[in-house]
Amino acid sequence: MSIDEIFVIESLPKLATHLEKGNVAKTRSALLSRFFALVEYRNAREWNELVRV
């Protein structure tokens, strides 16, 4: 499961089902890595991505 896949899911039930299939620790780690990479955002696109993370 790619972290990018979760950002295109439109509903919470579908997101929950998708996340239940994966490794929680791996997903959490990937999301935290993405968050810390964006925490000092440079533009509106990065801000929008940070909010979604």
Q: Are residues 46 and 38 in contact, defined by beta-carbon separation less than 8 angstroms? A: yes
Q: What pTM did the predictor assign? A: 0.72
Cβ count near 40 (within 10 Å): 8
Burial class (CB in 10 A: 0-12, 13-18, 19+), 45: exposed
Instruction: Give the C-alpha separation, 44 to 52, whole Å.
Output: 12
The whole-number pLDDT of residue 11 equals 94
The whole-number pLDDT of residue 22 equals 86
The pLDDT tens digits for 1-47 are 678 888 899 999 999 998 888 898 999 999 999 999 889 989 999 99
How many separate domains does the chain show? 1
- Tell me how many degrees the CA angle 8-12-18 measures, rounded to the nearest 5: 65
User: In terms of residue numbers, what domain contains 35?
Assistant: 3-52
